[in-house]
Amino acid sequence: MKKGYLVLEDGQVFEGIRFGAETDSVGELVFTTSVVGYIETLTDPSYAGQIVMQTYPLVGNVGIIHADKQGACCVKGYIAREFCDAPSNFRSDDTLESFLTAEGVPALYGVDTRQLTRIIRDNGVMNAMICSEIPADLDVVKTYAISGKVAEVTCKEQKVFPAEGEEKFKVAMIDYGVKRGVIAGFCQRGCTVTLVPASTSAEEVLAMGVDGVALSNGPGDPTENEYQIQQVKALMGKLPMFGIGLGHQLMALAAGGKTVKLKYGHRGGNQPVRDLKGTRTYITSQNHGYAVEADSVQGGEVRFVNLNDNSCEGIDYPARKAFSVQFYPDVNPLPKDSAFLFDRFADLMKGGDL
């Protein structure tokens, strides 16, 4: 066992035991409240540039199941209270230790994650470093900023995912850091999905002859994606559109809205979301640090709000046959409450109204 440290940008130090890659790393420290699904967490591209801490105390007990991975492992580090190095699961392909080592991700366990969570909740997300020696100068930690991550995580060329069963629709999905489960949600409903890079122009999308456009989840500050915002603006109203996560934020910005950075974000599988056009509250999976300012929405109607902080969770644009949600509609292994959104998009491509 090797001692390691988590050093916060304000100088606070937490001691732990190292596992994973034996390297130092700087990132934005965030926490996720998910009880299950650490495999999906580690492979969600929306975490690019961040050190992820699990509030649930135990990780590693089911090993690594490659079929459950959602994409590339883009985290800058991983923090846990307890680590199990002897997984017990018939589906396990690898150990968490081996996976993190292969991916070059440093990790710590034996850390007081409850205290760390309190610090983030009180002060907001902050930069941190995983290291073997406490640095004398914290400038590299204090000046770290997440930037340009969409270009890093997007696909480099088009990829086609065929519909399951009979093809009913053709969907172009612009990849800002998509999860595998999001693609599967479309394919299961008879959509052939063509995944295109984030650099794809509106003209190229329109030339594909698709029935609808989906905007994927992704990492980072939505306002830095100026080119992507302009392409979304050019596409809105031309084809039915469904935005998810970062795609939701880019749609709002394209429609003249504004976004704001949340104090500590929404990350986990237990976020309550209220439908303002009905009586339902959905338990949703989320991973974002920015939100759309509800009062800034132009040409759209706020449809969903978060019951914890009343932040905007979804917008309908009836005149443009478009809608978006901040939360994930794909479900594994988390709540299936919001999977109906894929069906809603299918109805829109059939010619229905919002």
Answer yes or no: is 226 within a domain: yes
Region of 190 (left: φ > 0; alpha: ψ -120 to 50; beta: rest) is left
Interatomic CA distance for residues 151 and 110, integer angstroms = 35
Kindly report the CATH number assigned to the domain that includes residue 38.
3.50.30.20
Q: What would the pLDDT profile of 306-345 be if each residue is shown by its tens digit?
A: 999 999 999 999 999 999 999 999 755 555 677 889 999 9
Number of domains forming the structure of the chain: 2
Place of tokens 């237990």: 270
Answer yes or no: is 39 within a domain: yes
**Looking at per-residue confidence, does 330 or 257 come out higher?**
257
Q: What would the pLDDT profile of 140-170 be if each residue is shown by its tens digit?
A: 999 999 999 999 999 999 999 999 999 999 9
Do 181 and 68 belong to one domain? Answer: no
Do 258 and 229 belong to one domain? Answer: yes
Q: Which domain holds residue 207?
A: 149-349
Mean pLDDT of the region 47-64: 97
Do 66 and 186 belong to one domain? Answer: no
Mean pLDDT, the chain, rounded, equals: 95
Do 161 and 125 belong to one domain? Answer: no
- Percentage of the chain exceeding pLDDT 90: 93
Interatomic CA distance for residues 275 and 21, integer angstroms = 43
In this prediction, residue 330 carries a pLDDT of 77
Q: What would the pLDDT profile of 165-204 be if each residue is shown by its tens digit?
A: 999 999 999 999 999 999 999 999 999 999 999 999 999 9
5, 41, 160, 294 from 304: Cα distances, Å = 40, 24, 31, 10
Do 11 and 108 belong to one domain? Answer: yes
Do 274 and 335 belong to one domain? Answer: yes
In this prediction, residue 334 carries a pLDDT of 54
- Percentage of the chain exceeding pLDDT 70: 98
Question: Of 108, 127, 142, which closes a domain?
Answer: 142
Answer yes or no: is 354 within a domain: no
Do 99 and 192 belong to one domain? Answer: no
Kindly report the CATH number assigned to the domain that includes residue 196.
3.40.50.880
Do 137 and 153 belong to one domain? Answer: no
In this prediction, residue 298 carries a pLDDT of 84
Interatomic CA distance for residues 142 and 170, integer angstroms = 46
Q: What are phi and psi of 106, to 5 degrees?
A: -75, 150
Mean pLDDT of the region 118-135: 97
Mean pLDDT of the region 284-307: 94
Question: Of 142, 174, 209, which closes a domain?
Answer: 142
Interatomic CA distance for residues 124 and 330, integer angstroms = 28
